Amino acid sequence: MAEFSGHLSLRVSARSDGRTILAAQSFRAPYHVSKPYWDADARTLLVQAVNPTAGILSGDRLESDIDVGKNAALLVTTPSASRIFKMKDGTAESRQHFAVAAGAWLEVMPEPLVPHRECSYHQVTRVEVEAGGEMFFADVLMPGRVAHGEAWEWKRLGLEIEVRLGGELILRERFDQTGAELHALAELAGSGPAACFANAVLVAEPADGDEIWREAVTALHRDGLWVGVSPLRRGGWSIKLVAPDGMHLRRGMRAVRQVMSGRFPRLACDPRKL
């Protein structure tokens, strides 16, 4: 079976008129970059990172490096879920590095990870934001192919994230569980066998009125959707969602972004615009 050593590198910068451009790019299978789209209303460049293969297989090694220059604004998304397929042995790995300069904005909002039966996957995300930069990043997880009876059947899933603001560590999280362990957590939350999760991180300097959007996001915690907002040690917030299924989670994430777009207007950029 072929193993991929995929590489994605994007560097964006702001022109003198304030428009963000893709200044440099390189990629290798299974990555492909679609034509960028400039959202004039949100003043954000939208880029889709496409995986033209069936999905992620044992032995795959994926690396991505995204650099947002001063005063530039970028939204990176994917057009479809990332499926992690069954592995007789071995594992697949992904390493992500995001760098955001002062005055810049980066949003990374991919479609969900969908781990299939007996897969093993490890993802490490490193984020470096300069003082005055802002970023919104979300990991979205679905329990597997529910209709095929593969919910919670993966062998191992590891998701690590480390965030630094102005060189100072403000967040380090590590999720490393079997499907059965996470299933138990979903049952504890009362979300049922098809429960889906989202772990989002917002990096931004606090400002007057932040309590307005925080209260509005927290108010979304109802009708089967669990939502929590916690401040980081400085310069940001952790936002977590648990929903009974993918439809409710998508609605919840859309509602969170819509509420927060009043304070962070670039969140009004639609990831599905392309």
- Reported as a single tens digit per residue, the pLDDT across 62-112 is 999 999 999 999 999 998 889 999 998 889 999 999 999 999 999 999 999
> Between these two residues, 5 and 54, which has the higher pLDDT value?
5
- Taking the model in full, what pTM does it have? 0.93
Q: What is the pLDDT of residues 27-61, one digit of tens each?
A: 988 888 988 999 999 999 999 998 766 689 899 99
**Residue 31 located in a structural domain:** yes
Q: Residue 106: left (phi > 0), alpha (psi -120 to 50), or beta?
A: beta
pLDDT (0 to 100) of residue 188: 55
Domain ranges, residue 258: 7-268
* 246 inside domain: yes
Q: Residue 2 above 60 pLDDT?
A: no
Domain assignment present for residue 115? The answer is yes
- For residue 46, being part of any structural domain is answered with yes
In this predicted model, what pLDDT tens digit does every residue of 145-190 receive, in sequence order?
Answer: 887 777 888 889 999 999 999 999 999 999 887 777 666 665 655 5
Residue 189 is predicted with a pLDDT of 53
pLDDT at 29: 80
Beta strand spans in 3-85 (E): 5-14, 20-28, 32-33, 37-39, 44-50, 61-68, 73-77, 82-84
DSSP 8-class letter at 206: -
- Residue 141: inside a domain: yes
Q: Work out whether strand 168-177 and strand 134-141 pair parallel, antiparallel, or are unpaired.
A: unpaired
Neighbours of 90 (CB within 10 A): 13
Does residue 44 or residue 225 have the better pLDDT? 44
Distances in whole angstroms, Cα of residue 74 to Cα of each of 4, 21, 149, 238, 269: 27, 9, 37, 20, 10
Give the pLDDT score at 271.
87
Specify the number of domains making up the chain. Answer: 1
Q: Measured between alpha carbons, how far is 15 from 227 in angstroms, rounded to an integer?
A: 38
- The residues, any chain, with a CB within 8 Å of residue 219's CB and separated by 6 or more, are none
Question: Looking at the domain assignment, is residue 1 inside a domain?
Answer: no
3-state secondary structure labels for all residues of 80-128: CCEEECCCCCCCEEEEEEEEECCCCEEEEECCCEEECCCCEEEEEEEEE
> Looking at the domain assignment, is residue 2 inside a domain?
no
At residue 229, what is the residue type? V
pLDDT bin (cut points 50, 70, 90) of residue 13 is: very high
Residue 273 lies in a domain: no
